[in-house]
Structure 1
Amino acid sequence: MAVDETPRLLLIDSYDSFTFNLAALCHRAIPGCLIHIIKNDLFEFKRLLPLLKFFSAVVVGPGPGSPEVAEDIGVVKHLWNADSENLIPIFGVCLGLQSLGIAFGGRLLRLNVVKHGQISTVHHSGTDLFWGIGTVQAVRYHSLHIQLDESLGCELEKLAWTSDLADNGEVIMGLKHKTRPFWAVQYHPESVCTNGGSDCVLRNFWILAQSWSAKHNRKVLPWNANALASLPPPWPASISASALPVSGPETDCLSTILASVHHLPHFQLPLACELLGAADEHSPFVFLDSAAEPGRFSIIGCINPMSVGITYYMGCPYVFVSSEGQKRQERLPSDIWAWLSDFMCSRKARGNADIPFWGGLVGYMSYEVGVDGLDIPLLPSMGHERYPDINLAFVERTVVFDHETGDVHIQSLRLDDSVWVSETGRLLLKACHSPASTTSLNGTSGTRHKAKPVLSLPQKDRYIAQIEKAKEFLLSGDSYELCLTARARITFPFQPPTEKSSSWTRYKHLRSVNPAPHAAYIRLHPTTFMSSSPERFISYSRPPNTLCQLRPIKGTVRKTAQITREIAEEMLIGSAKEVAENLMIVDLIRHDLHRVVGVDVKVTQFCGVEEYHTVYQLVSSIEGRPKDSSIQSSKTNLGWETLRTSLPPGSMTGAPKKRSVEILQSLEDDDRGIYSGIFGYWCVGGGGDWSVTIRSCFKHEDPCKTDIKSDEVWVLGAGGAITALSDPEAEWDEMNTKLQSVLKAFDV
């Protein structure tokens, strides 16, 4: 290969959730390279073989399962046996090493103690991949390993290993073929916590690949129409056009919203909500409530009969749009994401840059919206036939409270709405000078029902059995972490509605006993939803130069009189299990971000301990923005595309995401619905903020029943990340602790 030719790599993805991290590592280690990513089952080998001549090297990525299972390894198993004319340098990671191992005389064995999210010291020969490299601290995600067996005519040479002592003894961490241009590592060089064995190992592979190609006179064919038509474009690429707005005004044509600002540091949010319609159970209402730090802005959406409502049911070719008492259906152009993008593109506006929300879409999306995006068939469920998976309101009138400054921003997207803006300001000013009752503000005396509610909790034996089954999948290598969940239900026998039994009163009680930075009360027919979530899923700033941030939570310690912050930090940061849980999700989220924004993704906080009202949590923060501003034109929304491709939240699935979701479908008793999905907003300015639906509950009105004396049923979800280190009893206790944080709102 000529020195001045652009390196072109083929990265084979075995449906892993770290693939784009590996692509980013290759991009850093081999400057200027072009990386084409394909799934391992996209091509039959006879179709792929002639295309290899267009590439400088192949990278075989990690993935779930076993190299001995054809569906898990796909075309990879054939690469090792290519004839001399079609040989190409290959670098394998994890599953890639295991596949190389069994192809040339190695034995595939199970580890006695699996290593998922664990960091180990890697010893090495100092040659080949490890030339010039010192100490390697490497992240491992594997339950299988390779043992060399000379009696099988092994053609491989060990380059690196760990000493797991009593756990597993010596475990191979690096291999090379003795005569062919094949190298591999068992650990994950692309993990954020791998130190010393990442970029340098890839650079050494590239040097070895170039040297082998020059020695064997291997020439890379120039890119041509055949390759262009057969293979996906190189990563990073522009955003998929199918998920972006297709029309809309340019930036200089944006309308300016109407707004007024009042300094009301003692502003009582619950009282303001009631003045603006929260107490009317028959009307829609949305309230995104930063009820605790580090939340800053709370948003009241003032919905009126002219407001547009949007509902969508998974699998339906139509979206339903309602306004002024009328409901119509519109056929989707391709999918619901494209429809919503086009809807928002024609409704752009401009306001105070210091305020995150000027108006726009507010509501929720179910967990199954994300499952569908993974191309996983949804389970048959009556719920999807009756209740929306996406339920949004387009909010034109808003009241935004800044908890940091004490300022209240009253805003309207309607240019003829100056009367509403001024009248609302006077209403809130007057309310600030009027005494508010304690009951009105926190609802603590208004949650009791005359009839005793029926509480249906998860069955302990059933949940423990599910944990044990989950651990079997972890031991087999099908997943590294499974976020198992269960549902509880509270049924209130029918009674005539009163203020004390209203959902709004219950929400006020919830925010008083468990305030959270991502709390919410969303009442959009036929669903009422209330949340005390501590976890942001994703926020994205307005374009241009959009910054995307995700803040996963993994690791929880309940606050008690005995648990100080110092003790909590020791319990969380000092726990290999808790850190491993968080690390796996951080690496997964880095992959999700790299997929859309490209190389520029950073972990700005790793496993920081944050204090909340009832718990201490282990929180990480990952941020990304594209270096190429050309993909952030006025007709694109990078944040929306990142949201679409990142669902369902990795902190609610485990990793690898797709295989983990498939396993969870087989383990859990029913669909998750709203629980484990997301809620939040998309601003008309292009920014957005969506939270994970945890510490939450919801109820549905049943449109199939006309009997007004129906019972009131609330659904609560809770769960935890199951890893190889999980203790079933401790996981059961953690799940119940999370349930109790919401059950407090019902006094049961």
Structure 2
Amino acid sequence: MRTHFSKEINNPEAFKNQLLTWSQQFREVVFLDSNEYHQKYSSYDCVLAVDAFTSLKTDFHNAFEEIKQYQQQTKDWLFGYFSYDLKNDTEKLTSNNFDGLHFPDLFFFQPKKLFLLKGNQLEVHYLLMCDDEFEIDFEEIKLYSDNFVTLVYTERSRSTVEVQQRISKENYLSKVNKMLEHIQRGDIYEANFCMEFFAENAIINPLEIYQKLNAISKPPFAVFFKNNQQYLLSASPERYLKKEGNKVISQPIKGTAKRFSDAALDEKAKNDLAENPKERSENIMIVDLVRNDLSKTATKGSVEVEELCGIYSFEQVHQMISTIASNVAENRAPVDIIKSTFPMGSMTGAPKISAMNIIENLEETKRGLYSGSVGYFSPENDFDFNVVIRSILYNAQNQYLSFSVGSAITSKAVPEQEYEECLLKAKAMFEVLQ
């Protein structure tokens, strides 16, 4: 049983920063921030879960069944991630590409301490609470001022991160042309092709890098994740899947345009994206895929496209986003809904299995947590998970840093333009690491 408190917070934005800095003392941390981005489906502005009471870590073998049992046994809040390579648990697929990060394929934990912030209202849920523990913690959290954060940054040793590109431009263009050959043969209609940027012997302050990345991106699905020495610093704009009662929502992104400081040019870029036939066809193909995935667990006739090819603006880019919803039966296990739709269509392609096989053959890095998903299950069998894109992954133990970017390849793709789109998506990560 959890002990529950509510508290009013005078300055929620400052409190979020204090909360995140205070959390660094714990071995396990999941910090989720919506950055006050206006969105229809939002349960909390900010969530922090720390300090595992129990946890589950596994490779892809039987992973969905293990997390299903764990979720049903605990009937509690669980926070963690599904890596992209759990595809190997749902289909006869493999992941044999290079892996410099060595993260588990799946990791979830049951937090001892949980903070849920909505507006200026803070909900706190503690397990195994000692007398006055929350009041002691709260006073400690308030000590973490901006000056303290600056002090942490300046006292940490830092080195230059020398980012390398796993696939050269020439090789990238060649691989995209091979993917176009698959499309022309009818093997696939669309596939998301990704490439890795990496740094070896990298020493960074993960908290500092995350806060810089979040500040220049301000996305609705930002994540700071820590599992001992493994970190995810994510500025994701994309929701994978959310369950609220009997309703399930998916919001795939397909279609990207850069932003301009000039208001007229920026508005033109936004309008051009909305009318671009290539970007619209990419998005609509994935909408069809998601509709099919959701129908596997939906009640009859309940799958609905709530918004098709909506244009949303973020700090760095404009994005084309669709919203697909369905209803599920009350007794439907939450993990079954995720398993039947995983990995998300926006990061694979169509048909999904063919696309994943071709992706594996042409990419040179194991995706791992990149293009996987981070989020939580609630005790009420609800959940909310993002798509891990626009993210830096870091293993402090072997000092390996990685971030990947990709784009959707369709019959209308121009390899040079796809390459430029990848560099646009990588811009924020390069900026915070320089």
TM-score by length of 2: 0.90
Name the SS of the counterpart of 2:297 in structure 1: helix
Q: 1:654 to 1:446 in 2, by over 3 A?
A: farther
Alignment of 1:322-333 (within 5 A): none
1:591 CA drift (Å): 0.3
The change in CA–CA distance for 1:479 and 1:467 in structure 2 (over 3 A counts) is same
Distance 1:436 1:264, change over 3 A: same
- What does residue 94 of structure 2 align with? 377
1:51-107 per-residue CA deviation (whole Å, 9 max, x = no partner) reads xxxxxxxxxxxxxxxxxxxxxxxxxxxxxxxxxxxxxxxxxxxxxxxxxxxxxxxxx
Structure 1 stretch 559-568 or stretch 470-479: which is displaced more? 559-568
Q: Write out per-residue CA displacement over residues 412-459 of structure 1, whole angstroms, 9 at most, x where no aligned residue.
A: 244x5563233334445x45xx85339549x9x759965433210231
Q: Which aligned pairs between 1:82-161 and structure 2 lie closer than 5 A? A: none
Deviations 1:182-228 (CA, angstroms, capped at 9, x unpaired) = xxxxxxxxxxxxxxxxxxxxxxxxxxxxxxxxxxxxxxxxxxxxxxx
State the partner residue of 1:567: 268
The answer to whether the aligner puts 1:662 opposite 2:357 as a matched pair is yes
Greater helix share, 1 or 2? Answer: 2
Structure 1: 5+ residue runs without aligned partners?
1-254, 316-334, 350-359, 495-500, 703-709
Overall identity of the aligned pairs, in %: 23
Q: Is the 1:507–1:521 Cα contact (8 Å) retained in structure 2?
A: yes
Deviation at 1:464, TM superposition (A): 0.6
Q: Which residue of 2 aligns with 1:300?
A: 48
Could you tell me which amino acid in structure 2 is paired with residue 506 of structure 1? I
Give the distance between the partners of 2:284 and 2:154, measured in 1 at CA.
Answer: 42
Q: Aligned residue for 2:31?
A: 287
Contact 1:376–1:662 (CA<8 Å) still a contact in 2?
yes
1:493–1:517: structure 2 CA closer, same or farther, 3 Å change rule? closer
Q: Does 1:345 align with 2:72?
A: yes
User: Would the aligned equivalents of 2:2 and 2:125 in 1 still touch at CA under 8 Å?
Assistant: no
CA distance in structure 1 between the aligned counterparts of 2:75 and 2:159, rounded to whole angstroms: 49
Measured in 2, the distance between the counterparts of 1:463 and 1:446 equals 39
* In structure 2, C-alpha distance between the alignment counterparts of 1:465 and 1:622, rounded to whole Å: 35
Q: Residues 90-137 of structure 1, C-alpha deviation per residue, up to 9 Å, x if partnerless?
A: xxxxxxxxxxxxxxxxxxxxxxxxxxxxxxxxxxxxxxxxxxxxxxxx
Do the aligned partners of 2:191 and 2:410 also contact (CA within 8 Å) in 1?
yes
State the secondary structure of the residue aligned to 1:396.
strand
Partner of 1:455: 163
Matched, 1:258 2:7: no
The one of 547, 550, 566 equivalent to 2:250 is 550
Matches within 5 A, 1:307-318: 307-315=53-61
Shift of 1:575: 0.5
User: Number of aligned pairs?
Assistant: 426
1:719 alignment partner in structure 2: 406
Task: Kindly provide the CA deviation profile for residues 305-345 of structure 1, in whole angstroms up to 9, marking residues without a partner as x.
Answer: xx222211134xxxxxxxxxxxxxxxxxxx22222222222
Q: Which fold has the larger relative contact order, with Cα–Cα distance below 8 Å and residues 6 or more apart in sequence?
A: 2
> Among residues 482, 489, 494, which one is paired with 2:198 in the alignment?
489
* Shift, 1:387, TM fit: 3.2
Does residue 309 of structure 2 align to residue 653 of structure 1? no
- Contact kept in structure 1, 2:371 and 2:389, CA below 8 Å: yes
For 1:601-680, what aligned pairs fall within 5 Å after superposition? 601-626=303-328, 631-633=329-331, 636-637=332-333, 639-680=334-375
- Give the superposition deviation at 1:397: 1.4
- Tell me the alpha carbon deviations over residues 31-54 of structure 1, each in whole angstroms, 9 at most, x when there is no partner: xxxxxxxxxxxxxxxxxxxxxxxx
Any idea what SS the aligned residue of 1:378 has? coil
- Which 5+ residue runs of structure 2 have no aligned equivalent? none
Relative to the length of structure 1, the TM-score reads 0.54
CA–CA distance in 2 between the matches of 1:540 and 1:336? 20
Which of residues 382, 388, 398 in structure 1 aligns to 2:104?
388
Shift of 1:283: 2.7
Q: Secondary structure at the match of 2:104?
A: coil
- Matching residue of 2:216: 513
Q: Which runs of 4+ in 1 moved over 6 A?
A: none
Aligned 8 A contact 2:291 2:303 in 1: yes
Equivalence for 1:472: 181
In 1, the alpha carbon distance for the partners of 2:33 and 2:382 equals 18
- Please state whether the residue corresponding to 1:570 is helix, strand or coil: helix
Counterpart mapping for 1:110-259 below 5 A? 257-259=3-5
Q: Does the CA-based 8 Å contact 2:372-2:387 persist in structure 1?
A: yes
Task: Give the distance between the partners of 1:453 and 1:390, measured in 2 at CA.
Answer: 28
Q: Give the Cα–Cα distance (whole angstroms) in 1 for the partners of residues 127 and 158 of structure 2.
A: 44
Give the Å deviation of 1:504.
1.3
Residue from 273, 279, 284 that aligns with 2:20: 273
SS of residue paired to 2:132: helix
**Could you tell me which amino acid in structure 1 is paired with residue 250 of structure 2?**
L
Distance in structure 2 (CA, Å) of the matches to 1:582 and 1:337: 28
- For 2:255 and 2:154, how far apart are their aligned partners in 1? 33
C-alpha contact (below 8 Å) 1:260/1:422 kept by paired residues: no
SS in structure 1 at match of 2:270:
helix
Q: Is the 2:241–2:385 contact (alpha carbons within 8 Å) kept by the matching residues of 1?
A: yes
User: Partners of 2:269 and 2:104 in 1: how far apart?
Assistant: 40
SS at match of 1:529: strand
Partners of 2:207 and 2:135 in 1: CA distance = 26
The separation in 1 between residues aligned to 2:130 and 2:282, in whole angstroms, is 50
Post-superposition offset of 1:515: 1.8
CA deviation digits over 1:604-633, x for unaligned, max 9?
11111111111111111001003xxxx423
- CA separation of 1:529/1:447 partners in 2, compared to 1, >3 Å: closer, same or farther? farther
Deviation by residue 1:333-392 (Cα, 9 ceiling, x = unmatched): xx222222222223236xxxxxxxxxx2212221111243122233266669x5311122
